[in-house]
Amino acid sequence: MTKDTAFPDFRNTGVLLRVVITVQVLFFALALVQAHALDGAVQGFVELAAYLQIPLLFILLLLFLLTPMMAAFQIGQARALTLLICAGVAGFWHLFMDMSYPDTGIGSLPRTLALSLGAAWVILAGLDGRARRLSPALAEARLQALTSRIRPHFLFNALNSVLSLIRSDPKKAETALENLAELQRALLSENRELSTLRREMELARAYLDLETLRLGERLQVDWRAENAPADALMPALILQPLLENAVCHGIEPLPEGGRISVDIFTRKGALTLVVKNPCPAIPLPLATGREGNRMALSNIRERLALHFDAQARISIHQPAGVFTVQVVMPLRTGSRGQHA
């Protein structure tokens, strides 16, 4: 296994669902091979399913409990321990069933061990293959974000705003240049690691300060983030692109400008970001794919899935002229720079 892959997180809902579904598919295929007909395969699968659900759940429970410890192992050691757990639980269950119900015809112990090890190997190989496919996708997503985010006209407008301030307000011009440099530094940094809410809010405010130089009082922003921990972990550069979409597609088209609201809060073990802006009569950014979105909503959705799998989601609502984006992800806290 390459260094770009890691031991599966058996506390992740998506991983658990993939394991359960894969096991059912494998044993249905086994029932089909044994029965040589679909009707017999269904009956055989029902019998196998009744037999394997309890050991499967017990295996998943053990892996769920041991995942933090196994994550610290070498990948080969973690895989070997996983196979050992699967074989041990399957063997124990086979002996228990053979002693309790000797007439069930469950086959020999070597056959049970071989099937459990084979199924475990297939599942680990599948999860490993998925990790190998997605690891390059993180870098690809970063490059896509860079090319979509470095908008020439944004840089042009920001620099023009700075030039106009150099003589009239040198201190303000210096602050604007610092904000612009901080944004560009973040754009060019490696984002395979999770950032903190504190850092993402700093970048978002730096961006909004630059846009305020150009839009003035046309841009109003309401922040409500008191109920979210500052060290909550999230993918880097998620909040700022949402705000840029709000500015580009909600504020700029309106001569009178408008107000953006940002709500960040925790609920039931999840961190939620809600960004709302006025919605002029223009197509949704996701549907249009217009240049200048910096980071398309589809790209945000992809990066959330890469970091959190099925435990994160992004949804879009447009009621009564208000465009609303809601991002929900697992609540994790820690220092910046932790790996996903």
Gap between the Cα atoms of 51 and 112, Å rounded: 11
Amino acid code (one letter) for 9: D
Strands (E), the chain: 194-196, 219-224, 233-235, 258-267, 270-278, 313-317, 322-330
Return the pLDDT at 190: 58
Average pLDDT (14-28) is 86
Cβ distance 215 to 252 under 8 Å? Answer: yes
Task: Work out the burial of residue 280: count CB atoms within 10 Å of its CB; fewer than 13 is exposed, 13-18 middle, 19 or more buried.
Answer: middle
27 band by pLDDT with thresholds 50, 70 and 90: confident
Q: What CATH superfamily classification does 150-330 receive?
A: Histidine kinase-like ATPase, C-terminal domain (3.30.565.10)
| Confidence at residue 300, expressed as pLDDT on a 0 to 100 scale | 82
Residues 6 or more apart from 60 whose CB is under 8 A from it?
A: 10, 16, 19, 20
Q: How sure is the predictor about 24, in pLDDT bands with cuts at 50, 70 and 90?
A: confident
With a pLDDT cut of 90, the percent of the chain lying above it is 19
Rounded to 10 deg, the angle between the 297-308 and 109-149 helix axes is 150
Per-residue pLDDT tens digits for 274-316: 999 998 765 444 433 444 444 557 778 877 887 888 889 999 8
Residues of the chain with CATH 3.30.565.10: 150-330
Mean pLDDT over the full length of the chain? 79
